[in-house]
Structure 1
Amino acid sequence: MTLRVERDGASGVAVVTLDREHRHNAVDLETAAELSQVWRDFRFAEDVRAVVLTGAGTAAFCTGIDRAVDVPQPGSPYSADDPLLSIGPKSGDLWKPVIAAVNGMACGGAFYLLGEAEFIISSTSATYFDPHTSYGMVSAYEAVYMAQRMPFGEAARMSLMGTAERLSAQRAYDIGLVSELTGPGDLLPAALRAARTLAGFPTEAVQGTVRALWAAKQAALQQALAQAPALIALGNLAPERQADLFAGRRRAPEPRVR
């Protein structure tokens, strides 16, 4: 198992922890399948009325897809297999509120998760960045999700600047990506406090409100996401060239944190 799922039936809160600390909580195929399944299961769990999503350890919340994973692709520019498409709660048709508790790095494919959370509580030690362009890859799904949650100029800068810059937790809070900042030791208690409040309200009203909030943005989101596969097929470098750029990341200058 690559997830830890802890339920507190008394409060109605479940904590889902990405449990691959040795890989900076990167998502492999097993993790992707487990995430997809847990959101589907929570739809039927009457003892789960709100969820906290976090990552093990303090170094990273999630660093996207594990680059050690080999995902076979169909030999056609018109179709692609992306194992991250089903890892978010909304893709699993879960409309119970999910609060993301971010510690350490959140980058790349982490935005599939953050993009489908209701709101984000962040440790002051967290940083946010999108490495795609540095490695010859199109940031498509990630950029779309972040453009829905951040001012356009901030989303554009983060998506385009790759590994050269990281968004500090304070800056993420200032621009509205993050709703609350805490010290590293206070992160989970703060997220649990909010989740317990939501779980204490009538669940039909909470889920209806979640659904209404997403209805306000979902049409534009789905239209934008529909363009992503073609943009990736057109703009990505060949996998071996991506691997060369990724292997050279250790020689790159230290990123600027703003």
Structure 2
Amino acid sequence: MSPSEIISFLLIGAAVIVAIVVFWFIFRKRIKFAIALTAVLVIGYIGYFIYYPTLKVNTHAKRYEQVMEYLTEKYPDKEYSVSPEHYEKGYSVGEFNVNDVETPTMGVTLRVDRKGQVTQILTWSNLGYPAQQELWRKIEFFYGETYTLDKDIADVTKEDEWINGELTAFALTIDEMPAIAFYNYSKASFSLLGLELGEREGFVVLEEDGYLFIYVDKRYERETITGILENGKEFMLNIDQKKGRLIVEKQQ
């Protein structure tokens, strides 16, 4: 039983005691009647306490059916994994972790209320704390708008990587567009410091923490690229044999 449920039962118990005191005061000259009312309240309270676990199981089962009907009706062409089907200790009644079977590493938590209304209350990812080389996989979950069952998941592919201590950069393809993601990573935490996307079949440039990162799509047709740095200087780079690789230069 959760702390909130314990508090609820304590409050109900307190209300029962108050009611008993009031009944005995009102019916102090009708002892048998007062005893009968007291017995009804006490037995009802104990009975409800005993039945409560079964009530949670039954309620959760009913709401599981409701959330499945909701998913079938709203997303008829998709298949979802929904848990827990049966009430389990540690879960809230009527709350379910839901994910598309094609994306098992991310999903949402849906809540079904007493009226059968379904709402999303949380998003989740079960990737856990990533290894430094796997940081890029987090982009699939966070890229774009907040994840929902209606969101189209970005197609993210790692093309190359660069690691220097706690600094990590990835050359990526996101929905067929070249991209660079730059992270700071430690065993305690990690953070995305920069994410830059280029045009399809083009190139992308990112300046972060004293480094210049360039990634050129393999399908880029020219042999040179030009651009303007943050300091206003123009640069030109020969990219022969460098397409599809992450180019890293230390800035002066």
TM-score range, shorter chain: under 0.3
Q: Rg bigger for which structure?
A: 2
Higher relative contact order (Cα pairs below 8 Å, separated by 6+ residues): 1
Counting helix residues as a fraction of each chain, which structure ranks higher? 1
Counting strand residues as a fraction of each chain, which structure ranks higher? 2
Q: TM-score, normalised by structure 1?
A: 0.22
